[in-house]
Amino acid sequence: MSIKRRSALTAGLAGILSAATWSASRADTGFQVGIVDGLEDFWLATDAYVFGYPLVTMEMTRRIMTNVAAPVGTRGPMGQFVKARHYPDASFRDVTAPNADTLYTTAWIDVGKEPWVLSIPDMKGRYFLFPMLDGWTNVFQVPGTRTTGTGAQTYAITGPGWTGTLPPGMKEYKSQTSLVWILGRIYCTGTPEDYAAVHALQDQCGLAPLSSWNKDYTPPAGVVDASIDMKTAVREQVNRMDAVAYFTLLAQLMKTNPPSAADAPAVARFAKIGLVPGKDFDASKLNADFASRIPQVAFDRIMLQFKVGKSVKNINGWMFDSVTGLYGTDYLNRAFVTAIGLGANRVQDAVYPTSLKGADGEAYSGANKYTIRFPKGRLPPTKGFWSITMYNADYFFVDNPINRYSISPRQNLKANADGSTDIYIQNQSPGVDKESNWLPAPTGKFILMLRMYWPTETPPSLLDGSWTMPAAKKVG
């Protein structure tokens, strides 16, 4: 998932800074407290907001995605798989930056009361991965082709305080939090025959509480809460909360989704503003004059990572976060990835360089024609697969005469006489002889995203910089 970039600093932040001198020592490279004349508690509160942003966003996402009586579309009740049966088309608007490479098999579970058992069938060599995210968006385990192979496998996902005995042959995956999001992806070419094959694999995936495993288990119907806003985007719902509502929810969530041991130094500081893990939020300790400005300024700090984030790379106009899935104590990067791409994989499993501008530094426009040329032997290096996806300015698929939303080797790309490979990015066909290498563009602005699943870790590699994505050059 993705969002459009917000302004780095809003008038709210400017107003705060005009009232006090912000010490130059307070760079957003961590949560060290700088000297702010009389406003240290304000900055501490924005630290706490940034820290909790992933957990609050995960919970708000869970509420919307599970608020149905039975699986339908991209939603399903707690403890039930939602199975995407086909790739979306240009009319799809449920989530931004959809993909046309893998079919999702996803579920939300609560492992606070008892473990849940996940069974994955024999994928027979097909690429797949089933990352498991805890409430803080850390990918704590990721069974899949890269890590566990493609044979049949069974796992018990246990909660933070669980101790017990598992059936023989069942491997334990312990979550730090009660909340777990399983974001399974299975590679599919999109042909009718391959859709049928993947559907069969999806239907063999099993999910049940441990007490019901290997029994005649029928998941209960979901309970629909009419008070949940099902229309407003999650990000907007989170951002419009005032500080008291936000911290009240965060404190509630931390009772069953505790911070890690490594978070202890940061969390200890938050007691000063009334936020203590395991306890209700004490709003009396938060300066009421700051309550309305904290969310705005804190979110600006998060989005400022576009400019100053040390893990954000911009090479040849292709931007990507080089540290996703596991964040340690880099809370700003964790919140940033939550805001622009909730559910991100570990970089060893997938990287998504995104480009908004061509080699000339100007925004892409369908009024122009572009070419991406890969020299001989320099196609994107992966052990899984790669593709380039076309989006309009709002990160949705683009309607086109050949119904092609991404391009990859499965289009049987044609190489040039010298062994190089050109990708033609334009609104009109480049000619029948070149259509295998054509990625159709809209007439207006557009965005490109390179998906690299299981990128190589030895040269040539995007991860170590020994391979770089070529810029898209305007032609004609």
What is the average pLDDT across 54-73?
Answer: 97
Task: Identify each DSSP E strand in 297-420 by its residue range.
Answer: 312-315, 318-321, 350-351, 354-355, 369-374, 382-392, 406-407
Task: Read off the pLDDT band of 34 (50, 70, 90).
Answer: very low
CATH class of residue range 11-59+233-341: mainly alpha
Task: Read off the pLDDT band of 6 (50, 70, 90).
Answer: very low
What is the average pLDDT across 101-106?
Answer: 97
Per-residue pLDDT tens for 230-271? Answer: 999 899 999 999 999 999 999 999 999 999 999 999 999 999
Residue 58 has phi, psi (to 5 degrees) of: -60, -45
Q: Which residues contact 411 (CB under 8 A, 6 or more apart)?
A: 404, 436, 437
- Cα–Cα distances (Å) from 412 to 82, 169, 436, 437, in that order, read 31, 42, 7, 8
Question: How many beta carbons lie within 10 A of that of residue 318, not counting itself?
Answer: 22
Spell out the domain ranges in the chain.
11-59+233-341, 86-186, 353-475
Distance CA 257, CA 275 (A): 14
Q: Per the structure block, which two tokens stand in for 31?
A: 């949560």
CA dihedral 282, 249, 324, 313 (to 10 degrees): -70
**What percent of the chain is predicted at pLDDT more than 70?**
92
Q: Per the structure block, which two tokens stand in for 459?
A: 């040269």
Say what the pLDDT of residue 96 is.
82
Per-residue pLDDT tens for 395-431? Answer: 999 999 999 999 999 999 999 999 999 999 999 999 9
Q: Whole-number mean pLDDT of the chain?
A: 92
Distance CA 347, CA 454 (A): 8
Q: What is the per-residue DSSP string for 130-182?
A: --EEETTS-EEE--BHHHH-SS-EEEEEE-TT----PPTTPEEEE-SSSEEEE
Distance CA 459, CA 381 (A): 9
Per-residue pLDDT tens for 368-395? Answer: 999 999 999 999 999 999 999 999 999 9
SS3 303: helix
The fold of the 353-475 domain, in CATH, is Jelly Rolls (2.60.120)
The CATH code of domain 86-186 reads 2.60.40.1610
Task: Read off the pLDDT band of 4 (50, 70, 90).
Answer: very low
Q: Is 277 a residue whose pLDDT tops 50? A: yes
Q: Is 72 a residue whose pLDDT tops 80? A: yes
